[in-house]
Amino acid sequence: MLPCDGPAICPPEGAPPLTPLEKLLRFGAVGTMLMTVPQVWSVWTGPSAGGVSLVSWVAYLLSSIAWLAYGIKKGDATICFANAGWIAMDLAIIVGIVTR
């Protein structure tokens, strides 16, 4: 097995187990990204990206970047994972809007 990369990946020895809220938040982080996949799909495969707000998605991207920076600073893997995924989703939609 590979060694731990640090507290953001492996909790410190003796750290308390995840609370039910933390488990729910991890599930929600993945779930909300999966719910956005159909919008990414429609932006890229539909006849146009009409009705999708570029301003809103750029704001979401900036927010995700700020949250990722916060997650890195705090060493919180859940925040980092969720916002790295959101950055990818935001960029996919933004590029789809701009190129269509």
Residue-wise pLDDT for 35-83, tens only, equals: 999 999 999 998 888 889 999 999 999 999 999 999 999 988 888 989 9
Residues 68 and 82 sit within 8 Å (Cβ to Cβ): no
Q: Average pLDDT of 26-38?
A: 89
- Please determine, for residue 7, whether its predicted confidence score (pLDDT) is greater than 60: no
Each as own residue / partner, the long-range contacts of residues 42-50 (CB below 8 Å, 24 or more positions apart, any chain) are 43/92, 43/93, 43/96, 43/97, 43/100, 44/92, 44/96, 48/100, 49/96, 49/97, 49/100
pLDDT of residue 26: 84
CATH of 30-43+52-99, one of 1.10.1760.20, 3.90.950.10, 1.20.1280.290, 3.50.50.60: 1.20.1280.290
C-beta of residue 54 within 8 angstroms of C-beta of residue 94: yes
